[in-house]
Each structure stands twice: as C-alpha cells, then as structure tokens.
Amino acid sequence: MTPDTSRPEIRIEGLHKSFGDNEVLRGIDLEIGQGEVVCVIGPSGSGKSTLLRCVNLLEEPTGGKVFVGGTELTDPDVDIDAVRRRIGMVFQQFNLFPHLTVTENLTLPQRRVLKRDKAQAARVAAENLERVGLTEKADAYPASLSGGQQQRVAIARALSMGPEVMLFDEPTSALDPELVGDVLAVMRMLAREGMTMMVVTHEMSFAREVADRVVFMDGGVVVEEGTPDRVIGDPAHERTRHFLSRLLNPAMAQVEESAD
C-alpha cells in the first residue's frame, strides 16, 4: 500500500524534552504520513526512545506540539485517553501479565478500555493471534513462550485495540538473535497492510527493506532523514557515516577503541 504523505498521521513540531538540566530533545520537527513506515536510528542516548514516548505522552514534552490524526496531544484540554486508544505501542520488554493466558492478556484491555463484551473481545483476540502466527498458543501462559513469541503476543495485544498508529521501541533488542526474524516478519506484514508505523530500531536490514524513510538522530536532534538507500546506503553527514560504520562493522569499531 502506498503511503499518503499528504495526510500526516503523526506531526511533531519544535519538540523539546529535558530531564532536569539534561536536554534530551532539542527541537524535533517530524511528520509521518498515513500508511508510512519511518525507522528512527541513532546511538544510545540520542533521544530516540524519548521521542517515541513523547508521541503518546508517556513522557510529557517540555516544549513543542505533538499531533496524532489531527488531534493535538499536547493541548491541555485534550482527552488523552481517547487519543491513546488510537496508538498501539510495543516496548523492548513484553509487559505481559504472567498469571493470565495469552488470550486473557489480549482480552483484558479490550474489555476494560473499549468496553467490549467477552465474546467480541475473544473473537478479536483470536483474529490477531492468527495474524501473528500464534493461534496454537491461545491458552498458554507467558512463561511457557519464547521471547519472540511473547513479543508477538504483545504486538497482537496492541493490534486488538484497533490502533491507527503503531509505535515500536526497539522491539527485538531483548531477543536472542534466532528469535528476531519472526517478530520482524510480523512487522513486515503490518507494513504491507498499510499500518502507520514509527520504529526505533538497530535492525538495519529491516530498515532498508521496509522503511519508507529513515531518520538518524544524535544529540537530541534529527541529523538527516530520507529514503533507506540514501540515509543508510549513502549518508550525507559524517555523524551518520560514523554511526553506521560502527554498527555494521563492530569488529572494526573494537579495533579503533583499542587503538585509542
């Protein structure tokens, strides 16, 4: 599905965020069109995850504005709970309830937040477990699942709320390498279906293949953005080139460090 960049689903204007004297975001301007997949890359401490958490106000911006679907989340009078229902978020950790089955993990938020009845919530849960390839795990408990399976359950839980936008904060960073592929396959499926997605990631192969745009952040600012071929394949800025060389060639980075 071709993204509609003329209709921004997410719009960020002059976003600042400080923790005490530490200014983590220094005036971010960014738009993500309807159906667009944007991968945010950059070194640790660059402000990527903070930016993502400001999009649904898990972090309160110090300054600037955030719009989702045309509604300003940073408006003091906004019904933030109503807007958040349109935003799905998947974290590094899976945050599943260990005492509930997979199906119960998916149905509980539907029933409490969306007020769906038990049968409707179960039907939606089953549909989304099928989407992520885990129908056979409906009655399992999280402890019996691999990390990759737990993350796919977390994605299915977010999808069960019917979001218009999905935010992913390093969704594969806590997984063993052999489990990463199944989670990325689910994210590729969502991209093909036209889901608007903002993804903080270090998975450069995923960004190259799936992203419509890649945003490179460092020091709390957007250093450059563009197509994956341009930003990853032919970066314009030295900061981007240095980051990618260390990420894609870690052995060389270690040699450089030992030589310093």
Place of tokens 């539907």: 110
pLDDT given at position 248: 76
Distance between CA atoms of residues 255 and 260, nearest Å: 9
Q: Which residue has the tokens 């993804």?
A: 199
Q: What is the pLDDT of residues 92-103, one digit of tens each?
A: 888 899 999 999
pTM, rounded to two decimals: 0.91
- pLDDT tens readout for residues 224-251: 999 999 999 999 999 999 999 888 776 6
What own/partner pairs with CB < 8 Å and gap ≥ 24 does 42-49 have?
Answer: 42/216, 42/217, 42/218, 42/223, 42/243, 43/218, 43/243, 46/217, 46/218, 46/219, 46/220, 47/17, 47/217, 47/219, 47/220, 47/221, 48/200, 48/217, 49/169, 49/170, 49/200
| Predicted confidence (pLDDT) at residue 169 exceeds the cutoff of 80 | yes
How far apart CA 79 and CA 88 sit, in angstroms, is: 17
Band of the pLDDT at 177, cuts 50, 70, 90? Answer: confident
